[in-house]
Structure 1
Amino acid sequence: MSNEIAARTSIGTVQLRVSQLQQSLEFYQSVVGLRLLSQDRTSAELGVPDSERPLLRLIEIANAVPRPRRSGAGLYHAALLLPDRRSLGLALRNLIASGIHVGQSDHLVSEALYISDPDNNGIEIYRDRPRHEWQWDANGHVRMAVDPIDWDGLLAEAGDAPWNGLPAGTTVGHIHLHVTELPTTEHFYVDVLGFNLVAHMADSAMFISAGGYHHHIGLNVWAGVGATLTPDTAPGLDYFEIALPDEEAQMAVFARLQAASVPLRTNQGTVIVHDPSGIQIHIVVRGSA
């Protein structure tokens, strides 16, 4: 049995804790451009046209106080991958019109915009360059950078086209996490779960993927080595899904977790584990949407 996670692995739904559901819904619909799929008194699911699969699920927690960014292990950002550059240009134009602070970076493999929601949960909105343009070194590591983005070129792509929110085909392309420290984190995600290590950023961050993607998960210690998990009484990441293509792939991961004596539980076909920082992960089989 291969110890490598299935090539068609992806990131599924990301569940975030928020302090005020209605405030967050306004932000994620009008600023980010997601559409409301369902809502009850304390939770809501958000997605894009032509799919009923939620990209984000928001859970309101009582008496929550937003925390500064980089204040504990947990979410650095959840990254929404758009299908083309024109869509990213339209998103940029809308973000500028909203008045929100927008960070930006050209990573060579992608062009990315960075914002924070009202609770300081980080969100990246990005588009990938074609895979044939990505460069890999002799060690199998992808070349990435943090160059300035072509702001004017993106806006020119958008032109005068109307903005109607994020388009069909948008997915959660990756998730980036603050973790407590890197060696045990690498062992868990690479040796046990079976992701491939594809990039390092000095001794402070690493990037892992399946199937030759530039990264499905980023892992950093920018909140400080030894940072404790953001408590579940505060806004932040509740859990994220690792979506596998079939039950065989899920069972292979399940077997490796058991062999490594990683505590886990199952719930209606979902394998629930925590990484070495305490971050909750749901390992699911992705169905049709």
Structure 2
Amino acid sequence: MGRVTERRRVIRIRDGAVSTRPDTLVAEEPMEIRLGGKPLAITMRTPGDDFALAAGFLVSEGVLASAAELANIVYCAGATGEGGSNSYNVVDVRLADGVPVPDITLERNVYTTSSCGLCGKASLDAVRTTTRWPLDTSPDTPVLIEPATLSALPDRLRAAQRVFERTGGLHAAALFTTDGELLDIREDVGRHNAVDKIVGRALQQGQLPLSSCVLMVSGRASFELVQKAVMAGIPVLAAVSAPSSLAVDLAVETGLTLVGFLRGTSMNVYAGEHRLALSAAASTD
């Protein structure tokens, strides 16, 4: 099976001095996801938690919502040029009896990715009407999280990134309680894969929906990441960088609390502020 990191020779130049040394890089390999034996998607990922990645991807696609709907996930023989030996880069997902299998020979669903090429309104409507766990959009919802708790999450995320410390080349997604307790963290070369691994592990453990959790990501908040949070029933998504305009639109549409530029005690709340304990004197201009 592919390793999480690999070693490569580099030429290092420091203050005019030239030397050679081995460098630790994050591994990146393609993984094909099949559904009932039929090809569904290919993603570039960091090997590891492959079954969780496939399960989480199918949650965001609206195919899976509970462990009971999943029969099994297995590795398949990949095309390696070595007689069909197992490359551990192809996984096949089998659904439980009675769970409908989408017609994957047709055009993919409109809520698949932020680059689907369809209009924003169609994408927003698709996620809102497809999620099995609509988020509570009532302003009377009890406060779930303190801003000070959110402020502590980036440092806790970074401290738990073991592979990033060796490579500097991985995104991370972490699941926290509303009190700031770390529940799970996954790293991957793709930010969307890291989230899928988090959601997939939760599905395998029978924990969906994640209605009392905060999802923290190490990069920006794209439409795709907001979609994945909503499809998993996660009410709060926080990112250290900026959201896209469509990500904010989707958060508003679905009732997700979306926080961006979370750095130190500073943050921007783009949607769902009713879940934060904000001062009554906060400016609204």
More helix, by proportion: 2
TM-score, shorter chain, exceeding 0.5: no
Larger radius of gyration: 2
Higher share in strand: 1
TM-score, normalised on structure 2?
Answer: 0.22
